[in-house]
Amino acid sequence: MIQQKVPKEPRLRIAFMGSPNFAVLSLASIVGAGYEVVRVYSQPPRRAGRGQKETRSPVHQFALEKGLKVCIPRTLENAAELKKFNALALDVAVVAAYGLILPSQMLDIPTFGCINIHASLLPRWRGAAPIQRAIQFGDKETGISIMKMTEKLDAGPVFSSAIEGITMETTTENLERKLAYLGGKTLLNVLEKLKKGNASLKPQSKDGVTYARKVLKSEARINWSIHAIEIERLVRALCPWPGAWFELNGERIKILAAKVEKSEGPIGQVLDNRLLVACGEGAIRIRKLQRSGKRALSADEFLRGKSVEKGTTLT
């Protein structure tokens, strides 16, 4: 165990660095606990929606609503940004799905360095998409790791971790919400220990290291030739984005929920009139779907508006 040094001041001076909704709850937890957030870093506004209007990140928007000072640099890898960061006289920088690379010189500037809220039980699922990969590969549990950042990706020693179960109803959407809450709660415990000077770090195991590569849109098209279990997991892992999909008569349709059943037939063929589809092994019953630009529908609702007869092949 590595004992952490006592901070320079009785109140922690914190910078928070994050962008998506996942990070908002952690920032809210810090603010709600009364910590001094001297700066919030987030990604610059991006054009989004049908009107391509410039939109602030969820963290940026929340910070402004709370009256916090916000920095939105396009990169941190220059001398000017390093100088600004150094001038903040931070005790700790908290990073949660920020989206920009922190240069190595920045990591040791705060008293306690930079700590990361990572959505997995490290060393499993280091990398960009730990939530999706945990679901896709059938993990029974995942969690949150509060880690001290080092130059190597997600390889730093861990302050604390917390476990969250994965069930057959778990999707990326609902698991992300649970882990966001768990991350904020676990972070506060770590910050309290840092403030009291009794935080400790545990090196990550060298065994069990896996990497969660970024999710690509090209992964979303369903390959009916694989096992039904793999397809059902993929559906949950890619819900809500980008959404696992198939084509029916040239139309792209997303599957939002499905169930594995014991049945066999030609690969990709609909085996009854209630959307049971044959896979490479087993079959899946499609429970919830979404046509392009339309609202999500249960299978029954979908079939009332569009007939999919037994023997139809999905591609």
Task: Report how far residue 120's alpha carbon sits from residue 141's, in angstroms, rounded to the nearest whole number.
Answer: 9
Place of tokens 């609702």: 301
pLDDT, tens digit only, all 315 positions of the chain: 555 555 444 589 999 999 999 999 999 999 999 999 999 999 999 987 777 789 999 999 999 999 999 999 999 999 999 999 999 999 999 999 999 999 999 999 999 999 999 999 999 999 999 999 999 999 999 999 999 999 999 999 999 999 999 999 999 999 999 999 999 999 999 999 999 999 999 999 999 999 999 999 999 999 999 999 999 999 999 999 999 999 999 999 999 999 999 999 999 999 999 999 999 999 999 999 999 999 999 999 999 999 899 999 999
- What is the SS3 assignment for 133? helix
pLDDT value for 7: 44
Return the closest-CA partner of residue 208 out of 128, 131, 124, 141. 124
What residue ranges of the chain are covered by domains with CATH 3.10.25.10?
217-305
CB 179 within 8 A of CB 142: yes
pLDDT value for 70: 98
Task: Report how far residue 294's alpha carbon sits from residue 256's, in angstroms, rounded to the nearest whole number.
Answer: 13
Return the closest-CA partner of residue 154 out of 133, 177, 139, 140. 133
Task: Report how far residue 116's alpha carbon sits from residue 147's, in angstroms, rounded to the nearest whole number.
Answer: 5
CATH top-level class of 217-305 = alpha beta
The Cα-based distances of 302 to 200, 246, 271 in angstroms read 54, 15, 17
Q: What angle do CA 108, 189, 177 make, to 5 degrees?
A: 95
What residue ranges of the chain are covered by domains with CATH 3.40.50.170?
2-212
Task: Report how far residue 168's alpha carbon sits from residue 74's, in angstroms, rounded to the nearest whole number.
Answer: 39
Q: What CATH number does domain 2-212 carry, 3.90.1260.10, 3.30.1360.120, 3.40.50.720, 3.40.50.170?
A: 3.40.50.170
> Which DSSP symbol is given to 142?
E
pLDDT value for 1: 56
The Cα-based distances of 34 to 18, 81, 113, 285 in angstroms read 19, 27, 20, 49
Per-residue pLDDT tens over the stretch 50-79: 777 899 999 999 999 999 999 999 999 999
Quick check: pTM over 0.95?
no
CB 150 within 8 A of CB 110: no
pLDDT value for 52: 79
